[in-house]
Amino acid sequence: MPVAVTATDPLWAVRWLDVLLVVLAAPFVVIAGLPVLGYAVGAVLWTLQRVAAEVIDRRARAQSDLRTTVGLQVAGIIGRGWLVALTILAVGLAGNRDDGATAAIVVLAAFSVHLGMTLVLKSFDSRGSTTA
């Protein structure tokens, strides 16, 4: 089930503000001379886990069995958390500590924006739940 941005959702840019900011920050990271490997891994990792969260949430909402719905969502949250943590560790070991720290900072900053927007949009959300 692909993730599609629809024209019927007027708040799509706000819902995906975290990913937009991560992408728009790329030139500044290069100009500032920050660890590009760490930034790239953090940016790709965050974007992939956000798309995965949306796909898992849509699948979970399509289920008729409550246990299956909860199971999918819990497995998705735990799995994405482990994926993020292990990838940050791997980039820190494969590159250097600065790359790992940069990847962690990118993910933490994007998570902070996503969490803030999720909390703000919760009252406007007609789709039901949002993913974190």
For the stretch 70-129, pLDDT in tens is: 999 999 999 999 999 999 999 999 989 999 999 999 999 999 999 999 888 887 765 555
Q: Greatest CA span in the chain, whole angstroms?
A: 51
Question: Exposure of 84 by Cβ count < 10 A (0-12 exposed, 13-18 middle, 19+ buried)?
Answer: buried
39: which residues sit within 8 A by CB, 6+ positions away? 25, 26, 29, 102, 103, 106
pLDDT at 1: 44
State yes or no: pLDDT of 5 exceeds 60.
no
CA distances from 126 to 9, 46, 61, 102, 122 (A): 10, 25, 14, 35, 9
Q: Tokens 């949002």 appear where? A: 130
Would you call 3 helix, strand, or coil by DSSP? Answer: coil
Region of 130 on the Ramachandran plot (φ > 0 left; ψ -120 to 50 alpha; else beta): beta
Do 59 and 72 form a contact (C-beta atoms < 8 A)? Answer: yes
- Residue 47: is it exposed, middle or buried by C-beta count within 10 angstroms (0-12/13-18/19+)? middle
Between 15 and 46, the higher pLDDT residue: 46
- pLDDT tens-digit readout, 36-85: 999 999 999 999 999 999 999 999 999 999 999 999 999 999 999 999 99
